[in-house]
């Protein structure tokens, strides 16, 4: 079907943000590493993207935590929370 305008942009923003947070969490992170990554992960993304990132983390904290602990790739996670086409 037709992808709504802006959907692709949301998807790439989501994957970019998640990749950043994943990089901060490191390989096989435990819960505290994930918490720290979610807290700090939005820094260094620039002002606008940082704001989007903070909103995303607040809204989807549980999903993101599960995803990081389960080592799912960014795109899968972003599809799960509805920001990338499944």
- At 1, the pLDDT band (50, 70, 90 cuts) reads very low
Does the pLDDT of residue 4 top 60, yes or no? no
Q: Are the beta carbons of 21 and 39 closer than 8 angstroms? A: no
Predicted local confidence at residue 8, as pLDDT: 73
Q: For 10-20, what is each residue's pLDDT tens digit?
A: 999 999 999 99
Homologous superfamily (CATH) of 5-81 is: Saposin-like (1.10.225.10)
Predicted local confidence at residue 58, as pLDDT: 94
- Residue 82's region, left for phi above 0, alpha for psi from -120 to 50, else beta, is left
- At 3, the pLDDT band (50, 70, 90 cuts) reads low
The domain spans of the chain are 5-81
Beta-carbon neighbour count of residue 2 at 10 Å?
5
């Amino acid at each position: 079907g037709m992808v709504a305008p802006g959907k692709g942009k949301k998807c790439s923003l989501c994957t970019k943000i998640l990749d950043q947070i994943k990089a901060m969490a490191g390989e096989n992170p435990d819960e505290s590493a994930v918490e720290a990554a979610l807290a700090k992960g939005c820094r260094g993304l620039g002002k606008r993207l940082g704001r989007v990132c903070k909103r995303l983390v607040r809204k989807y904290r549980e999903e993101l935590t599960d995803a990081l602990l389960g080592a799912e790739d960014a795109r899968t996670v972003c599809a799960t929370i509805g920001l990338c086409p499944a």
